[in-house]
Amino acid sequence: MDAGKNHEWLKKGNHVRKSKAGERGRMKAVIQRVSRAEVRVDDKITGTIGAGIVVLLGVGQDDTATDAEKLCAKIAGLRIFEDARGRMNLSLMEINGEILVVSQFTLMADCSRGRRPSFVKAAPPDRAEILYDHFVETCRCLGIPTATGRFRTVMEVSLTNSGPVTLMLDSRGKKDKE
């Protein structure tokens, strides 16, 4: 989806859409601190980064642009990089790190019943792509060098974990949890 369509969709008020039954959007991310990473589609590199964070991003049905912005800001500010004393005390912004964002609708899976995951909580692809693109643009607006995979394609992600440090996040903050 091109930036013009994204802008029009957001302009129509979709970023402030109320959730059903009082539920809030819950965009999910699995992030990994890396020394390098790349993503390939059809044996061609579509994105590569040096030191920074790989973000596997799942977009839910009730997610909004606000969820994307909140999650991006959280990731950019997390103090998960080591300072001179070897303590996790620096953020991605402070180390001038890079970010690789990969769409991953499977993060929205519900595995509570049976053996086949249900993806009914995932946003429809057209809407998910708009919010994925908005997340990426938010990263870029923060001045973070940002690489991406390609939405709705089979991708191969290669990375070198640093630490390892792997965290699971969602856009629902502590105050929002029931």
Q: List residues with catalytic annotation.
A: 104-106
Exposure string over 25-47, b if 16+ CB within 10 A, otherwise e: bbbbbbbbbbebbbbbeeeeebb
Q: Is 72 exposed, middle or buried (0-12, 13-18, 19+ CB in 10 A)?
A: buried
Task: Give the phi and the psi of residue 120 in degrees, each rounded to 5.
Answer: -65, -20
Tell me the three state secondary structure of residue 65.
helix
